[in-house]
Amino acid sequence: MKLLKRNINEKDGNGSVVLRAEDPEDMWHVFNLMHKGDTVKTTTVRKVIKEGATGSTTSQRVRMTLSLQMEHIDFDPAKCLLRIRGKNVEENPHVRMGAYHTIDLEMNKDFTLSKQCWDLMTLERIDTACNVAKQAEAAAVVMQAGLAHLCLIKGHMTVIRAKLEASIPRKRTGNTAHAKGMEKFYDSIVQAIKRHVDFTLVKCVLLASPGFVKDDFHKFMMEYAIRTDDKVLLENKSKFILCHASSGHKHALDEVLTDPKVLVQLEDTKAAGDVKCLESFFEMLHTDQDKAYYGYNHVVKANQQMAIETLLITDALFRSQDIATRRKYVDLVESVRGNGGQVRVFSSLHVSGDKLGQLSGIAALLRFPLPDLDEDDKDDSDDENDLAKEGSAVVELDDTDENYI
């Protein structure tokens, strides 16, 4: 992402930035920056109807610059498109003040985003997105006989680029239909890898499956590369890592990313760091539960005693349309850091962020045990679950490039 201009008042946080999203992950960052009530200014096309002297009407599509006060934001990760609906707040010869319009914000399109108050988390997200340092990325194919998902693992999101399904005949003695079906299925996976994986960017490609499906596929792919003299596959054969997964469904990616062999390859990626941190939390929850708590009320009480060593929080909580709700999580992050704690913000588009979201979206590893927290909370039966309130803000990735054989 490129930060073209920044004009933010240091005292009250009021101001604007001019940004340009350059890749799909940038669009995810932009979605997280935008909230209801913010103003976005960019070019758009609108149908304008003109009435002639005789009463006849003509219509034409006119390109113009509009400023909208946002009321609704949709993110389509498959198309890398943000659809923003809101009211026009600047005079325009074609659109009256207060009229509603919908803008489609795409990659490589400059826009100005204005807020009444830029908080710490939104400013940090801009700094993260505009960091030119290349982050290590990976690709993964989780597969079983007749089903495969090809995913691209990035710093803040996991994108499913292809879902492949095939009807595989059963094995029968003297019948080659099963072998031919598997070969056709494997070929479709090879073509998907060639189409969606940029080997100049990815650090490794994970091949995961139950049983020997991954081994058979890897053998098929290498034989295919030799037979067709595919230099890209041959030159990058060392990047393929075989590991175990319980199925070919996309959720099996979670167990793949916890494989120690995989973590070594991905040790400098944000995704692997988040997975490792969450694993530490679950391990602590089983071995010493007085040093691991989740839920907003428990975490706040632990922070009041300056006990938090690591705060785990999902970015979905910062997308709340309620300013007060969003502010309380920003304040908590600032307080934990002020007390010397570490903060890890999990992406809700990663399996680790999705898993944390099932635990209210917020958890903490403590420096020392606090056995009295549960007793203090007996009168407070339910923690606030702001993720449930803001469920519509969490984007579920749709499968793309579905192929049926």
Q: What is the mean pLDDT of the chain?
A: 84
Phi and psi torsions of 124, nearest 5°: -65, -35
Tens digit of each residue's pLDDT (9 = 90 or more) over 297-342: 999 999 999 999 999 999 888 877 777 888 899 999 999 999 999 9
pLDDT in tens, 188-214: 999 999 998 888 778 789 999 999 999
What is the end-to-end Cα distance of the chain in Å, rounded? 38
Q: Out of 57-71, 119-133, 300-314, give the one with best mean pLDDT.
A: 300-314
Residue that has been written with the tokens 């803040």 in this structure: 156
Joined tokens for residue 53: 């002297």
Please check the confidence at residue 233 and state whether its pLDDT lies above 80. yes
404: pLDDT strictly greater than 60: no
Phi, psi of 374 (to 5 degrees): -65, -40
Residue 113 has pLDDT above 80, yes or no: yes
DSSP string, 253-310: HHHHHT-HHHHHHTTTSHHHHHHHHHHHHHHHHHH-GGGEEESHHHHHHHHHTT-EEE
- pLDDT: is 399 or 341 the higher one? 341
Q: Is the pLDDT of residue 366 over 70?
A: yes
pLDDT band at 129 (very low <50, low <70, confident <90, very high): confident
- Predicted pLDDT at 51: 74
Confidence of residue 391 (pLDDT cuts 50, 70, 90): very low
What local confidence, expressed as pLDDT, does residue 375 receive?
A: 61
Does residue 117 surpass a pLDDT of 50? yes
69 or 137: whose pLDDT is higher? Answer: 69
CA distances from 60 to 23, 51, 189, 234 (A): 32, 12, 45, 53
Q: Is 156 exposed, middle or buried (0-12, 13-18, 19+ CB in 10 A)?
A: buried
For residues 39 and 87, give the distance between their C-alpha atoms in angstroms, rounded to a whole number. Answer: 9
Sketch out the chain's domains with CATH numbers.
Answer: 2-133 (2.30.30.870), 136-170+178-266 (3.30.420.60), 270-366 (3.30.1330.30)
State the amino acid at position 2 in one-letter form: K
Q: How buried is residue 108: exposed, middle or buried, by Cβ count under 10 Å (0-12/13-18/19+)? A: exposed
User: Which sign does the torsion angle of CA 323, 326, 329, 333 carry?
Assistant: negative
Looking at the predicted structure, is the pLDDT value of residue 362 above 90? yes
Q: What's the mean pLDDT in 125-151?
A: 80
**Mean pLDDT calculated for residue range 340-365:** 89
Residues above pLDDT 90, as percent of the chain? 47
d(CA 56, CA 54): 6
Which of 18-32, 49-63, 100-114 shows the lowest mean pLDDT across its residues?
Answer: 49-63
Task: Quote the pLDDT of residue 399.
Answer: 40
The model's pLDDT over 18-48, given as tens digits with 9 standing for 90+, comes to 999 987 778 888 998 999 899 999 998 888 7
